[in-house]
Amino acid sequence: MLKTILSSTSDFCLTFLNLLYPQDCLVCSGRAHELKPTPLCEPCNDRIMAFVGSPHWATAERELAFDAAYHVASYEDIVKRCICLFKYEGKTRLSKVLGSVMVEYAARNLNFGSIDMIVPVPLHPVKLRERQFNQSELIAEHLAKKFNKKIEKDWLKRIRYTSPQAGLSREQRLRNIKGAFLVKRDAGFTGRSILLVDDVMTTGATLHECAKTIKAAGAKKVLAYTLACGN
């Protein structure tokens, strides 16, 4: 009850503040919604939400360790702009919008009934300190909440600091990321089906390495789900 009152009070305050100091849309600088504290204007919000209707998926290639990979949109245009703002410019307010896009897409196109838990792709502690948040974790939290799934944020750890994957070939990416992850000793992946969540999939090298590590720890199935796919 108290939580509900506090939440409506805080919504009211945000609406009031937004009326006094309206925010510009982070993408097009147009005026964002006047009554709702949202980071995007209505046309930009509609543009990004339009992706939820068209299903995209790829069955994993034989040499990749995950069983299937799903994504909402190509890594271009407004999706790329939002991910860059979110990840590199610290506009974490966008996590709600991006998380909602992934929730809506999954609700319409995917069946996560057999999934036991959600695992966000971890960042190396040094990277996490630099960025101060893990974008995959923020998105995965929305999915976990909506689909009522457990989220395990520290069962999979990134133990090796790798150079950026951008600009590398597929083979170089696979080599660069090899051995970068480790499963926590008392993690319970045995016999479980896992949904691995990340913001972008390029060649699938990072998701492959995570899936390989999780499967070596006993997981039965690993599905990968990203907001975007592409370079």
Where does this chain bind Zn ion (CB under 5 A)? 25, 27-28, 30, 41, 44
Judged by beta carbon, residue 23 or residue 162, the one nearer Zn ion is 23
CA 84/CA 6 separation, integer angstroms: 32
**Closest CB to Zn ion among 70 and 86?**
86
Provide the CA 117 distance to its chain's centre, in angstroms: 14
Instruction: Provide φ and ψ at 24, rounded to 5°.
Output: -85, 150
Q: Which CB, 41 or 119, lies closer to Zn ion?
A: 41
Shortest distance in whole angstroms from residue 216 CB to Zn ion: 44
Give least dist CB 40 to Zn ion, A: 5
Q: Which two tokens stand for residue 75?
A: 């890594």
Helix intervals (H) in the chain: 2-20, 42-49, 77-88, 94-109, 125-131, 135-146, 170-177, 205-216
DSSP 37: -
From the CB of 84, what's the least distance to Zn ion, in Å? 15
Q: Which amino acid is at 134?
A: N
Residue 151 beta carbon to Zn ion: minimum distance, rounded to whole angstroms: 30
- Residue (47 or 149) nearer to Zn ion, CB: 47
Q: Which residues contact 66 (CB under 8 A, 6 or more apart)?
A: 60, 196, 204, 207, 208, 211, 222, 223, 224
- Cβ proximity to Zn ion, 47 vs 56, nearer residue: 47
Alpha-carbon torsion 64, 153, 216, 87, what sign? positive
Closer to Zn ion at the Cβ: 76 or 171? 76
Comparing CA positions, the residue from 64, 109, 98, 70 lying closest to residue 211 is: 64
Beta pairing partners, 69: 58, 224
Shortest approach of Zn ion to residue 167 CB, angstroms? 30
Considering the complex, what minimum distance in angstroms separates the CB of residue 122 from Zn ion? 32
In a 3-state reduction of DSSP, which class is residue 126? helix
Q: How far is the CB of 14 from Zn ion (least distance, A)?
A: 19
Between 25 and 140, whose beta carbon lies closer to Zn ion?
25
